[in-house]
Chain A
Amino acid sequence: MPASGQKLNGSEIFFECLRRENVEYIFGYPGGALLKVYETLYDVKDIKHILVRHEQGATHMAEGYARATGRPGVVLVTSGPGATNTVTGITNAYMDSSPLVVFTGQVPSSLIGNDAFQEADIVGITRPITKHNFLVKDVRELASTIRKAFYLATNGRPGPVLVDMPKDVLNATCAFEWPETVEIRGFKPTVKCHQHQVEKAAQKIAKAKKPLFYIGGGVISANASEELRELAIRQNIPVTMTLQGLGAFPGDHPLSMGMLGMHGTFWANQAVNNCDLLIAVGARFDDRVTGKTDTFATQAYIIHNDIDPTNVDKNIKVDLPVVGDAKHFLQTLIETMPKEHEDRTPWLAEIGKWREQCPLVYTNEEDSLKTEYVIDEVSRQTSGDAVVTTDVGQHQMWTSQYYRFRKPRSIITSGGLGTMGYGLPAAIGAAFGVTDRPVVLFCGDGGFMMNVQELVTAVHYKVPVKIFLINNSFLGMVRQWQELFHQEKYSFTDLGDSNPDFVKVAEAFGCRAMRAENPVEAKKAITEALAWNEGPVFVEFKVVKKDMVFPMVPAGGSISDMLLERLNPKTMV
Chain B
Amino acid sequence: MKHIISVLVENRFGTLNRVASMFSARGFNLESISIGETEDPEFSRMTIVTRGDDQIVSQVLKQLNRLIDTIKVTDLTKQPHVERELLLMTLKLSKTTQHEIFELINVFKGKVVDIKQKSITIEVIGSPDKINTTIDIFRSYGIRELARSGAVAIHRGES
Contact = CB atoms under 8 A, between A and B. Distances in A.
B147 interface: no
A147 to B, nearest CB: 14
19 contacts: A124-B14, A127-B14, A127-B17, A127-B21, A128-B21, A128-B22, A132-B68, A186-B9, A186-B10, A186-B67, A186-B68, A186-B71, A308-B66, A309-B65, A309-B66, A310-B62, A310-B63, A313-B55, A314-B59
Interface in A119-170: 123-124, 127-128, 131-132, 135, 152
Contacts of B62: 309-310, 312
B58 interface: yes
B1 interface: no
A187 to B, nearest CB: 5
Contacts of B22: 128
Contact residues of B: prevailing secondary structure: helix
B25 interface: yes
Given A132-B68, A186-B70, 14 more contacts: A123-B14, A124-B17, A127-B14, A127-B17, A128-B22, A132-B69, A135-B14, A152-B68, A184-B68, A185-B10, A309-B65, A309-B66, A310-B63, A313-B58
A340 B70 CA distance: 45
A310 B66 contact: yes
Q: Which bracket fits the contact residues of A?
A: 10 to 19
Interface of A: 123-124, 127-128, 131-132, 135, 152, 184-187, 308-310, 312-314, 317
Contacts of B65: 309
Contacts of B99: none
Nearest to B13: A135
Contacts, number: 40
Given A124-B17, A310-B66, A185 B58 contact: no
B10 to A, nearest CB: 6
A132 B18 CA distance: 9
A186 B21 CA distance: 18
Nearest to B22: A128
A128 B68 contact: no
Given A185-B10, A185-B71, A186-B10, A128 B66 contact: no
Nearest to B55: A313
Contacts of A124: 14, 17
Interface in B40-97: 55, 58-59, 62-63, 65-71
B25 A128 contact: yes
Interface of B: 9-10, 14, 17-18, 21-22, 25, 55, 58-59, 62-63, 65-71
Contacts of A132: 68-69
Contacts of A131: 68
A127 B24 CA distance: 12
Nearest to A131: B68
Contacts of B10: 185-186
Contacts of B70: 186
Contacts of B69: 132, 186
Contacts of A186: 9-10, 67-71
Nearest to B64: A310
A123 B10 CA distance: 17
Contact of A187 (B17, B55, B68): B68
A142 B25 CA distance: 30
Nearest to B62: A310
A545 to B, nearest CB: 39
A310 B68 contact: no
Nearest to A132: B68
Contacts of B66: 308-310
A310 B25 CA distance: 15
Contacts of B21: 127-128
A186 B11 CA distance: 12
A16 B62 CA distance: 36
A188 to B, nearest CB: 10
A309 B62 CA distance: 7
Contacts of A128: 21-22, 25
Of B63, B66, B69, the most chain A CB neighbours within 10 A belong to B66
A305 to B, nearest CB: 16
A509 B10 CA distance: 50
Contacts of A135: 14
Contacts of A123: 14
A203 B70 CA distance: 36
A158 to B, nearest CB: 14
A101 to B, nearest CB: 14
A487 B20 CA distance: 42
Contacts of B58: 313
B134 to A, nearest CB: 37
Contacts of B67: 186
Of A128, A131, A185, A186, the most chain B CB neighbours within 10 A belong to A186
Contacts of B55: 313, 317
Nearest to A185: B71
